[in-house]
Amino acid sequence: MKKEESFVHDHSCIRAVEIYRLCKVEGLDNSALMKKFGISRTTLYRILSTFERENPQIAEQMKRQGKDVTPEDYKRLQNELARLKKELERERLRADFYEEMVAFGEEVYGIRLKKAGTK
């Protein structure tokens, strides 16, 4: 391999490692990667699949590294889940209250308060 060809090959390997790392470890989405590296979607998928095929151990290690959950992340996710459960309960109560008010209004005033669905 000529020196110039070797440089191009090394550069493309380094770029493939960086693209794979940003995708699997950092969680960058495909459109951001395509924009950052100036490549098409097809080229991106080809780089990712080629890297996985040629470097299965490194690829597996990078995939696992990207999924590490720290105790802080776990606590933050638990807090968010608790907040969302409270918010869901409040919205359910609000919907029930609305239904009761509509039923009460229909009973007291004898008119239909709900709009008919689209036809």
**42-100: pLDDT as tens digits:** 999 999 999 889 988 888 888 777 666 678 888 998 999 999 999 999 999 999 999 99
- Domain of 98 in residue numbering reads as 69-113
| Interatomic CA distance for residues 17 and 51, integer angstroms | 7
- Examine the domain organization and report whether 58 and 21 are in the same domain: yes
| pLDDT at residue 26, as a whole number | 82
Instruction: Specify the pLDDT at position 118.
Output: 59
Q: Are residues 40 and 81 in the same domain?
A: no
Query: What is the reported pTM?
Result: 0.48
Instruction: Tell me if 89 is assigned to some domain.
Output: yes
Phi, psi of 62, deg, nearest 5 = -65, -40
Asked whether residue 118 is domain-assigned, the answer is no
Evaluate whether residue 90 is within a structural domain.
Answer: yes
Q: What is the pLDDT of residue 6?
A: 46
pLDDT tops 60 at residue 119:
no
Same domain membership, residue 81 and residue 27 = no
Per-residue model confidence (pLDDT) at position 85: 96
- Total structural domains in the chain? 2
Residues 55, 14, single domain; the answer is: yes
How many CA atoms lie within 13 Å of 15's alpha carbon, on the beta-carbon side?
16
The pLDDT value recorded for residue 88 is: 96
**Mean of the pLDDT values across residues 33-42?**
92
Of residues 103 and 69, more confidently modeled: 103
